[in-house]
A = this chain, B = another copy of it.
Amino acid sequence: MVSEEMYELGSKRSAIRELFEYGKKRAEVVGAENVYDFSLGNPTVPAPDCVNETIRELTEELNSIQLHGYTSAQGDLECRQATADYLNRTYGTHFHADNFYMTMGAAASLSICFKALTTDRDDEFITIAPFFPEYRVFVESAGAKLVVIPPDTSNFQIDFDALEKSLTPHTKGVIINSPNNPSGAVYSAETIAHLAEILRKKSVEFGTEIFILSDEPYREIAYDGVEVPYVTEFYDNTLVCYSYSKSLSLPGERIGYVLVPDEAYESKKIYAAICGAGRALGYVCAPSLFQKVVTRCIGATGDISLYKKNRDILYKGLTDIGYECYKPDGAFYMFVKALEPDADAFCEKAKEEDLLIVSATGFGCPGYVRISYCVDEDMIRRSFAAFERLYKKYK
């Protein structure tokens, strides 16, 4: 009577959401100050002031139709132009307004790209573990297959041998996510260049076009001067899926874009297919008010230094205890080696200490856990005693 596949998707709560709900209940029993919830990736840094200021200004300046009316399906020209200008100023690129299709955030951007590019049930999209588990949902919903490359846990860049072996004439695209959720790694220019080289070679070998889908919600969240290379500068067939959720701290408002550079193969045709996929999925236009907010606030970010401070405190605290951590260059997650091979079991043991951390098994990286540090600094400091008790259970 209903689609079993959709029922499954809708009735199985994500493990992360489950953990978060558990934390709320547990707080009622032991007190909120005694639960250390590192489960969610909900930005804790407030939106920059310009967001709410702009919202108030817009309600005074624009009439109702200008402010709340339909925009064109690809988005307000002003918003697309502001986005192009910002990127050109920041990365030395040469985009123009018509390279951009405004969306309802990165999940929408990705879903739209998969739908636009999928032509056959054998089509494959490759991603590199650890990876955001919703990729599988979006790819399969578009009628294609997700292929996962095992993680390179030495530095969380790309295992190129494994990648090269996985590329086939069915490969439609490779999804990358840098800064990465959950590892916190940023792909270096060398990594991107090497990836580009392999994809160019394989495209020629197969006589196909292979796209990079660059999922970039964490682009602005990088530390210690680490640069996040702009992928279109390395590879022509790149579609950028961007979200303002993290940079402007407004994940609930759903605003982002797909960028189709002129250099991409038959870019105008791809752009049209993206417009068509947006239409077919029921996206009419990106939210009007927030397109205008983005236009005026682009380039602003919340106070990212708070995330860096949290990272430093957490990294020092955990490594001092003895945990093996990957020091994140970006995003707001710490990737930590579990103290037993079964990360799920390790997370259950952590739960006994009221430490809510997420097993990375679902991210395609067994043996690791994700600790989200977009949380209160104070909670991080209070949690170390519990992390120490957990450690002593094993050593």
Binding site for B on A (CB under 8 A): 1-11, 42-44, 46-47, 51-52, 55-56, 59, 63-65, 67-71, 104-105, 107-112, 115-119, 134, 137-138, 140-141, 208-209, 249-254, 265-266, 269-290
Contacts and interface: CB of A to CB of B under 8 A. Distances in A.
A108 B282 contact: yes
A10 B253 contact: no
The 6 closest A-B pairs by CB, nearest first: A252-B288, A10-B276, A111-B282, A9-B276, A10-B275, A46-B64
Contact of A5 (B6, B8, B274, B276): B276
Contact of A281 (B119, B274, B281): B281
A283 B209 CA distance: 28
Nearest to A252: B288
Contacts of A138: 280, 282
Given A111-B282, A280-B6, A42 B69 contact: yes
A111 B6 CA distance: 13
Contacts of A265: 1
23 contacts: A2-B117, A2-B119, A3-B117, A6-B280, A7-B273, A9-B279, A10-B116, A10-B272, A10-B275, A10-B278, A11-B272, A42-B69, A42-B70, A44-B65, A47-B68, A51-B68, A68-B252, A108-B282, A108-B283, A109-B282, A140-B280, A141-B280, A254-B284
Contacts of A208: 1
B253 A287 contact: yes
A56 to B, nearest CB: 5
Contacts of A52: 59, 64, 67
Contacts of A116: 2-3, 6, 10
Contact of A7 (B67, B134, B269): B269
B68 A110 contact: no
A118 to B, nearest CB: 6
B6 A273 contact: yes
Tell me the dominant secondary structure on chain A's binding face: helix
B47 A9 contact: no
Contacts of A69: 42-43, 251-252
Contacts of A284: 104-105, 107-108, 251, 254
A75 to B, nearest CB: 11
A107 B280 CA distance: 10
Contact of A111 (B104, B251, B275, B281): B281
B3 A251 contact: no
A7 B251 contact: no
Given A9-B280, A107-B283, 17 more contacts: A4-B119, A5-B276, A9-B276, A11-B276, A42-B69, A46-B65, A68-B251, A70-B251, A105-B284, A110-B282, A137-B280, A138-B282, A140-B280, A252-B287, A252-B289, A281-B281, A289-B289
A262 to B, nearest CB: 16
B280 A68 contact: no
Contacts of A110: 282
A1 B117 CA distance: 7
A111 B112 CA distance: 14
A111 to B, nearest CB: 3
Given A63-B46, A137-B280, A289-B253, A270 B9 contact: no
Contacts of A108: 282-284
Nearest to A45: B64
B290 A287 contact: yes
A77 to B, nearest CB: 13
Max chain B Cβ within 10 angstroms of own Cβ: one of A56, A70, A269: A70
A55 B59 contact: yes
